[in-house]
Each structure stands twice: as structure tokens, then as C-alpha cells.
Amino acid sequence: MSDDAFEIGKVCYEQNCLQMRSLNQIMWQVPMIAMTLTGGLWFGASSSQNLDPAAKTLLFIFCALGDVAMIFVIQRVRSVMDAYLDQIKNFSPVNYADTKKLSHQGFLKERGVCNTFSLLMGCAAFLSAFAAVKSVCWG
């Protein structure tokens, strides 16, 4: 590899690492946004005595849709992170901390944090949908 090619590769490597850090920060912020949205809407829907039942139902539906959307967001961010990790690994495979060699299986393999957050947001979406149905059927 020539000196110029190495320097270009080095700059790209550094930029990929910076972008990776930004994506990692975003990935950890998505669940916080989902929890804030879910908690606030649940609190508002359940604590207001004068809220129209239709409005309460719509709040729960919006909450469920928001949590499902956040699952797509976090999975997409993690997919983009994978692309950056591949480029980082390609620059110096010897110095890359390859987690694919670890013995984690199934749900926790490679995307354990992302999948755990997605599962929790899916549960919150299910509970919101259940609350919406309950408010329609049983008042």
C-alpha cells in the first residue's frame, strides 16, 4: 500500500470511527425517547379524569405506533452501524475487536442490546394497544 493510499485510508478510518460513535449515541437515545413518549402518554391518558374516551384511545394508539416506529429506527441505526464496523475492520483486521468469535447464541448474538431494547419497546407497544382496546370495549 502506498503512503498516499494509507493516508487516505487512515482519514477514512478516523471518520468512520467518529461516525460510529455518533450512531452508538443515537442507538442509546432511541429507547430514552420511546420511554419518554410512552410514559408521558400513558400518564396523560390515565390521570386525566375529563379526557374524552376517544382521545384516550387515540393516545394509546399513537403510543403503540410510536413504539413500533422506534423499533424500526433502532434496528436501522444498528444496521448502519454494522456497515461502519465492517469498514473499520477492513482497515486493520488484526486490531479489530471481533465479537463474532464470542460464544453468545440466538437472541444475544451480535445485536443483544438492540434486540433487548426492541423486545421491550414491542412489549410497550402491545400494552398500549391493549389499553386502547380496553378503553374502547370496557370504557
Q: Is the model's pLDDT at 49 over the cut of 80?
A: yes
- Concatenate the DSSP letters of all residues of 41-69 into one string: HHHHHHH-TT--HHHHHHHHHHHHHHHHH
The chain-wide mean pLDDT, for the chain, equals 90
Fill in the DSSP letter of residue 88: H
7-11, 22-26, 112-116 — which one is most confidently predicted on average? Answer: 22-26
In the prediction, which pLDDT does 130 show?
Answer: 96
In the prediction, which pLDDT does 11 show?
Answer: 93
Q: Is the model's pLDDT at 82 over the cut of 70?
A: yes
Q: Would you place residue 139 in the very low, low, confident or very high pLDDT band (cuts 50, 70, 90)?
A: low
Give Cβ neighbours of residue 104 (< 8 Å, ≥ 6 apart): 110, 112
Q: Is the model's pLDDT at 72 over the cut of 90?
A: yes
In the chain, what are the domain boundaries? 3-137
End-to-end CA distance of the chain: 71
Q: Would you place residue 95 in the very low, low, confident or very high pLDDT band (cuts 50, 70, 90)?
A: confident
Instruction: Output the pTM of the full model.
Output: 0.86
Task: Say what percent of the chain tops pLDDT 90.
Answer: 65
